[in-house]
Amino acid sequence: EEDLPLIRRLSPALCMEIGSGSGVVITALAKSLGPSSSYLAVDINPAACKATRGVGHTNGVSVDVVNGDLVSGFRKQMTVDLLVFNPPYVVTDSAEMKGTGVSRAWAGGIKGREVMDRLFPDLPHLLSARGIFYLVVISDNCLEEIEHVLARLGFSMTVLNDRKIRGEHLLVVRFVREKQCPL
């Protein structure tokens, strides 16, 4: 929410949420930005896809929903202006990430990063030149390592929100290309 003025100035053509869950985040973006942007939600869970469609419909916004794993199957042609990802970030054994159960929504594997680490190499080819990437992490995910990985890919990081909630140290971070104009 605090970045909404920046997002409005960006005037994104394509907004994408990976791991849409209930659909509340992508729907809130669509309601805030309006029909001049296109909205795409991806989730590996068919029930989450159905929920996202329903929340969008109930709120009178158009959200395209794809049942899929991260961005596999998408052309990565630097077209996403705004990417939001609230990944499964809880530190678990890798085995907890397997299967089709609800644990896939929260089980992040080693360092809680196995899912997000799979996405990071795609970011330079997915985000537009002016694209912004928002990521939710917890302190156990080793934010300094994430910052280093994305810096090697040409992105700089800003911590936007830092709070403790129910025993988790939760952070929302923003990444932009280093050569992008200052925000």
Read off the pLDDT of each residue in 122-134 and give the average, rounded to a whole number. Answer: 96
4-177 — its CATH code? 3.40.50.150
Q: Which tens digit of pLDDT belongs to each residue from 38-93? A: 999 999 899 999 999 999 999 999 999 999 999 988 777 889 999 999 987 665 77
Residues 6+ apart with CB under 8 A from 125: 76, 77, 78
pLDDT band at 114 (very low <50, low <70, confident <90, very high): confident
- The string of pLDDT tens digits covering residues 165-179 is 888 898 999 999 987
Residue ranges covered by each domain of the chain: 4-177
**pLDDT tens profile 137-150:** 989 988 999 999 99
